[in-house]
Amino acid sequence: MNMKKQNLIYIFADQLRWSSLGCHGDVKAQTPNIDTFAQQSLDLDNAVSGHPVCAPYRATLFTGKYTTSTGMVINEIRMNPNHRCFAHVLNENGYETAYIGKWHMYAAELGNHYDPKNSYIPAGPDRLGFDGTFMGYNFHHNYYGAAAYYHTDSPEKHYVSGYEPDFQTDLAIERLKDLKAGKKPFALFLSIGTPHDPWVPENVPGEYLDRFRDTEFSLPPNYLPENDPYSDGWARLSPQERSELTEWMRVYYAMVANLDDNFGRLMAAIRHMGLDKDSIIIFTSDHGEMFGAHGRRAKNIFYDEAVRVPFFLHNASAGLIGGSNSLCINTVDLMPTLLSMLNLPIPKEVEGADCSKCLLGENGEEPDGALMMGTGATAIWEDGHEWRAFRTRQYTYAVYRVDGQEFLFDNLRDPLQMDNLINNPAYTDIAGELRGKMLSKMKSINDTFESSSYYEKNWVENRLIMRTATLQG
């Protein structure tokens, strides 16, 4: 029987925390549209970012491989295109593809983001199979004026009219109209830059900031006044920055409210076009934000504030229109799981697990946890910050490379992860079990837990990824 192929609409925010949504209990959040979508979707409430940094997440999402197999070990390096990626499979099976927004896998130098040699991703292999509509840019997080732009098929910049997330939503709606009118099934990925910093008033529309003018924000309950000694430069907080944290939050929540309004507009258009009936629709984020929790800002760490992400999957034809699933699904699992749900082949080199049967309520083997990793400082070559972690529904085990310091948290009993149980004799067996599972998974993907300088010396030349643990140059 010739069944109609489903579409895929994948919307992901940048730096949106699991906890900063009304549906997850945040009384300050103004997210009615996302909350409604969550109620109408399968809520994967233990979804994690396997490497909670912008570029590594995207590389893993599109390859189904861990960071040590993509080579995207820090931001601001250029992806090796010699991988069989998500969009390649889509193209080969008759799908039209579309990509809108931040790409973050094409830089060849640190900084200089606005130069087209870094911001323009040329058509061809470097788009990793996205051969259809491409309205993207490598990296920026200033959302107005000359700093807000995108490229299509030339280095020429197309400047955004108004506020970038508003404009990107308009682009997505218009592109969905065209895709629906076409004869092919399609996959559209919308990468929205907010609520990523800088959290300054001029980086969000005033009307949204006004909504929170009288809201009192406070430091996280697991805030620490000293910087985490394992922090890189992006994670450390100066005294001045610590004094600004609550005002940062005000802008952050204003950005989230705008994101919610745009998501509501997008979903209204999707429903009006009838695309909600024959599409897999996902709303998620690439990672979270610490805001001073555990003495850190930014991401790139194994604490839940950084790794736990919202993940809502709506698939009406499969009956996924409500409920929740506590599967600890990892970024690396998304490509094989979604390809399977689309009835498309999964490349043999994919390292993630196909979790589709578990999500559909069928008998299927569930991953026993999520391997997560940090392979260096956020965007520079610097040793001393590398970590590995293994997360299950209940526990997080983590270890730093530099000194072997270990952590064990009971996430159900201690959701703020303040009580390190690693030296508690009652948890010795649990720690040993999780450590063993982590090491076994690392071995299976040839991850030898190297220093950041090792990657720089052996894998990367002039910030271009030449080889990885599984891809040889």
Q: What is the pLDDT of residues 337-349, one digit of tens each?
A: 999 999 999 999 9
Task: Domain count for the chain, please give it.
Answer: 2
Per-residue pLDDT tens over the stretch 284-327 = 999 999 999 999 999 999 999 999 999 999 999 999 999 999 99
pLDDT above 80: residue 358: yes
Mean pLDDT of the chain: 96
Given 359, 380, 408, which residue is the final one in a domain?
359
pLDDT category at 389 given cuts 50, 70, 90 is very high
Average pLDDT score over residue span 35-59: 98
Average pLDDT score over residue span 184-206: 98
SS3 call for 347: coil
B/e letters for 374-395, b = 16+ CB within 10 Å, e = fewer, are bbbbbbebbebbbbbbbbbeeb
Do residues 331 and 395 share a domain?
Answer: no
Is there a contact between 289 and 305 (Cβ–Cβ < 8 Å)? yes
Do residues 299 and 398 share a domain?
Answer: no
CA distance 226 to 465: 35
Of the chain, the percentage scoring pLDDT greater than 70 comes to 99
Q: What is the pLDDT of residue 2?
A: 45
Do residues 172 and 271 share a domain?
Answer: yes
pLDDT above 80: residue 472: no
pLDDT category at 388 given cuts 50, 70, 90 is very high
Length of the chain counted residue by residue: 473
1 lies in a domain? no
Q: What is the pLDDT of residue 120?
A: 96
- Token digits of residue 443: 């071995």
Helix, strand, coil distribution of the chain in percent, nearest 5: 35, 15, 50
Type of residue numbered 244: E
Domain that includes residue 388, residue range = 370-465
Q: What is the pLDDT of residue 4?
A: 82
CATH of the domain at 438: 3.30.1120.10
pLDDT above 50: residue 93: yes
Do residues 294 and 382 share a domain?
Answer: no
Q: What is the pLDDT of residue 468?
A: 92
- Tokens 């103004």 map to which residue? 30
Do residues 418 and 337 share a domain?
Answer: no
Do residues 320 and 380 share a domain?
Answer: no
CATH of the domain at 29: 3.40.720.10
Given 316, 338, 359, which residue is the final one in a domain?
359
Type of residue numbered 105: M
How do strand 370-374 and strand 387-391 relate by DSSP bridges?
A: antiparallel
pLDDT above 60: residue 40: yes
312 lies in a domain? yes
Q: What is the pLDDT of residue 1?
A: 34
Do residues 170 and 258 share a domain?
Answer: yes
pLDDT above 60: residue 473: no
Average pLDDT score over residue span 272-283: 98
Average pLDDT score over residue span 385-392: 98
Do residues 348 and 411 share a domain?
Answer: no
- Tokens 């009288």 map to which residue? 214
207 lies in a domain? yes
**What is the DSSP secondary structure assignment for residue 330, as one 8-state letter?**
B
- Token digits of residue 464: 């271009």
pLDDT category at 365 given cuts 50, 70, 90 is confident
| Among 439, 470, 443, 467, residue whose Cα is nearest residue 455 | 467
CA distance 60 to 127: 14
Do residues 80 and 203 share a domain?
Answer: yes
DSSP code string of 142-181: --SGGG-EEBSSSS--EEPSS-HHHHHHHHHHHHHHHHHH
- Tokens 């997210």 map to which residue? 31
CA distance 121 to 123: 7
- Token digits of residue 353: 């697990």
Average pLDDT score over residue span 74-79: 96
Do residues 15 and 162 share a domain?
Answer: yes
| Among 62, 125, 382, residue whose Cα is nearest residue 70 | 62
pLDDT above 90: residue 110: no
Do residues 437 and 306 share a domain?
Answer: no
Do residues 347 and 205 share a domain?
Answer: yes
